[in-house]
Structure 1
Amino acid sequence: MKRTPLTSGIMYLILGTLFVLLAIQNVNRTGWGFFSYFLVLLATLDFGSGIRMILLHRKITSINKKNK
């Protein structure tokens, strides 16, 4: 099965959302500690990667449409 940038981007966005939810629960339970900041950092990286992958998919499809 081929893994496209779109599916990778969606998976990154889902992971980013999961990390945000875990960070919210951790802050509500224990306050802002190292683990909370770490989860927010992971969520930020995942959202950035997800957006970049989706934009890459759009660019690839637009190039493929121009070549046809």
Structure 2
Amino acid sequence: MKLSPRTFGIVYFLLGILFTYVAILSADETIWNFLTLLLAFFATLDFGVSIRMFIIHFKIKKQKKKK
């Protein structure tokens, strides 16, 4: 079974939300601790990948309409 880029985009977006939520919970007295910054970094990467997956999905959809 082949998964579409839209499915991957949704999964990565949900992971980005999860990492953001955990980063907020891990910020005790300051946000400048290692764990919070690491989780925020992973959330940023996941949001970036999800945006790329959605762009790829719409490009594929547009090309299929042309044919």
Structure 1 residue 31, shift from structure 2 partner: 2.8
Is 1:14 paired with 2:20? no
RMSD: 0.9
User: Given residue 45 of structure 1, which amino acid in structure 2 is its aligned partner?
Assistant: L
Structure 1 residue 2, shift from structure 2 partner: 1.3
Give the distance between the partners of 2:9 and 2:29, measured in 1 at CA: 31
Aligned residues: 66
Superposition TM-score, scaled by structure 1 size: 0.92
Match for residue 57 of structure 1? 57
Match for residue 41 of structure 2? 41
Structure 1 residue 30, shift from structure 2 partner: 5.0
Gaps of 5+ in 1: none
Give the distance between the partners of 1:9 and 1:62, measured in 2 at CA: 17
Gaps of 5+ in 2: none
Identity %: 44
Superposition TM-score, scaled by structure 2 size: 0.93
Give the distance between the partners of 2:29 and 2:39, measured in 1 at CA: 13
Query: Equivalent residue of 1:10, what SS?
Result: helix
